[in-house]
Chains A and B, each alone.
Chain A
Amino acid sequence: MPSIEQEIRSFIVGHFLLGDESSLKNDDSFLEKGTFDSTGILELVSFLEQKYSIELEPDELIPENLDSVNCLVQFLQRKVPSLNAVAQVQT
C-alpha cells in the first residue's frame, strides 16, 4: 500500500512534471520552483479532498500546509490522524 508521501509525489509528478520523478525533492517549495500556478493549486486541493475524503477550510489553504511534499504529508497527518502515518518524510 503506497504511503501518503508516495501518493502525493505520484500526483504532483504525474500532473505537473510530465512524469519526471527526479525533478521533485520533498522539501522543494512549489511556489519558489514554479511547480504549478493557481490553477494547479485548485487541482491539488481537489485531489486532496477526493483522495482523503476531507474538506479543506479556507484558512487551511496556506503555503505552510500545501507548499511542498513534506508540508502536505505533515498537514494530512495532522488533519486526518487516522491516515496511515508511515510516510517517511525525506529531505
Chain B
Amino acid sequence: MEISITVNGSEARHDVEPRTLLVHHIREALGLTGTNVGCDTSSCGACTVHLDGEAVKSCTVLAVQADGCTLTTIEGLAPSEEELHPMQQAFREQHGLQCGFCTPGMVMAATSLLDEVPEPTETQVREGLEGNLCRCTGYHNIVQAVLAAAKSGGGGTTVAVQQ
C-alpha cells in the first residue's frame, strides 16, 4: 500500500506492507536511525516520535496508520545543522545522558510534555516521562534537563515548527 507521510517537513511516499511497523519504516525506508528500537513492546519509549505533534511509540503504530500524518523524529528537532534544539542543549548541559540509547526517545517525550505542560513541576516531569526507561542515569539529570529546558522557554516543539 502506498503511504505518504510528511517527515521532518518533507513529504515522503513509499509502498509498504501493512504489517510494517512505523519504527522500521523510519529506520529502514526513511533512513532515519536516530529513532531506536529498545524493548519492542511499547514499554521503554526509545522509539518515541511525534505523530501529528504528539509523542507516540513508533513500535506500536503501523506505518499505514501514519499515512497522511506529520511525523517529527529526533533528526527534525534541531533548527539547523549547527544548532541544537533547546531540549537537546539542556540534556547536554545537565548531563542528561550516559550511553545515549534512550536519549532520542527521552527528548521527543520531553518536548511533547512541554507542549502540554509548559511549566511542569518536578513531579509532573517524572510522571510525564513514565513511558521512557533509562538504564544509566537514574533519571535525576534527565529531570533536571527537562526542568531547565522548560525554564529556558523553548523546550517544546514551537522551534521545530517555525523552522
A complexed with B? no
